[in-house]
Amino acid sequence: MAAARRPAPKERTRERERVTAWRPRVPGVVEVFHAHYTQYAYPMHVHDAWTLLIVDTGAVRYELDRHQHGTPHDTVSLLPPHVPHNGSAATPDGFRKRVLYLDASRLGEELIGAAVDGPDLRDPLLRRRVGSVHATLERPGDELEAESRLTLIGERLRAHLRSRTEPAPVRQDPVIARRLRELLDARVVEGLGLAEATEVLHAHPAHLVRSFSTAYGIAPHQYLMSRRVDRARRLLLAGRTPAEVATATGFYDQAHLTRHFKRLVGVPPGRYRSGAGR
């Protein structure tokens, strides 16, 4: 997937308040917002997007639909669009939070009522997944991974809001898994977004991710990066430089290549190339 260069985050610092915000090239994500507040308090306001919030340090208290709520660090909070809420620190040193603003393609408006009734979710797995997607969104070039992670997050959120105590069983679909693998194989360098794969294969994105992972034991984004690293190894052995290889194999830049190459091979591409032929 061709990725535009991530815009420089907008930051402002006043006393100890800090905000970083950007819009990634991931369908359905309106904004990524990271903040550290010590004194600032939000007045009553509304958003036209879903607010998916985790608190890393401290705690937040807020009012939603005239009911008081709180978000300790082990909670995932989901605030629905169009419903007024405020927010302030519930701890002396303020709080650090990370927020994803998601449009209706990720969560439909039919779930607003359920979110108003229970916006704070104590779910350790969901908390880890939300933290992981934030880390992914900070790395340009890993948009397919972010899409896949967000798809599973959306599925789990819908299960909570629909009061399902157990996740639906995974329906195996080896045919759709094979078709997705063929599509990825044909687009190793160009890349593929999950939204495009969904349109081409006429399948729900969560079904695509789960079917592929069940069939091959690896997520689609991991498969794509593995194929790219394999190509990178061959080009490095042929004498190409890491910078040339990054461009030729579909990585965002050389740093993006190095991160995935070292994860899969154990050494950075420059060291791999220098040891070729020994």
Kindly tell me if the per-residue pLDDT of 15 is higher than 70: no
Q: How confident is the model at residue 165 (pLDDT cuts 50, 70, 90)?
A: very low
**Mean pLDDT in the chain?**
84
For residue range 54-74, what is the model confidence (pLDDT) as tens digits? 999 998 888 887 778 878 778
Tell me phi and psi for residue 55, to 5 degrees. Answer: -110, 125
Specify the pLDDT at position 276: 54
pLDDT for 275: 62
Domains of the chain: 10-161 (2.60.120.10), 174-217 (no CATH), 227-274 (1.10.10.60)
Global pTM? Answer: 0.69
Q: Give the confidence band of 163 by pLDDT, cuts at 50, 70, 90.
A: low
Q: Which residues pair with 98 in a beta bridge?
A: 34, 54
> How confident is the model over 98-107, as pLDDT tens digits?
999 999 888 8
Q: Is the pLDDT of residue 236 over 50?
A: yes
